Amino acid sequence: MKATFWGRRLFISTILVVVISALVVAAIKDAESVHLPYLVAVFSAISIGFAEPQKGWMLAIMQCALIMAGYFLFTQRPESKAQQELENFSLYGSIILTFAASFLGGFLRRAFNMK
């Protein structure tokens, strides 16, 4: 029997995406370089793709939307131009890496399931 699209596992993954998105926004705001936000975004997206290989695309889109909304709605813009450029680079780079790493996580899960 085929499982429904909106199952318990997807609901738990959605809650995890909300928490991790807040963590990525916090990493973007507190980081002194792009490395920390990129690492958090990549590891979270790989885990999303690995946990939900068929529905990871939806969770990745949700994570990107939550990161953008969290950054623009719940944080203040920095005063210095250099810090503002760093945060923008971290924000948009994290979004791009989220899509790529989610695909990679789903690919790895399917590769491990093959015998």
Judge whether 15 and 63 are in contact, CB under 8 Å: no
Q: Tell me, yes or no, whether 49 lies in a domain.
A: yes
pLDDT tens per residue, range 13-67:
999 999 999 999 999 999 899 999 999 999 999 998 888 888 888 999 999 999 9
Tell whether 25 is covered by a domain.
Answer: yes
What six digits make up the tokens of 61?
A: 């889109």
Q: Is residue 1 one of the residues assigned to a domain?
A: no
Residue 114 belongs to a domain:
no
> Tokens 């790989």 — which residue?
46
In a domain, 3, yes or no: no
What tokens does 63 get?
A: 């994570």
Q: Domain for residue 13, yes or no?
A: yes
Q: Is residue 58 part of a domain?
A: yes
CA-CA distance, 67 to 65, in Å (whole number)? 5
- Domain ranges, residue 21: 8-108
Residue 79 included in any domain: yes
Domain count, the chain: 1
Arithmetic mean of pLDDT over the chain? 91
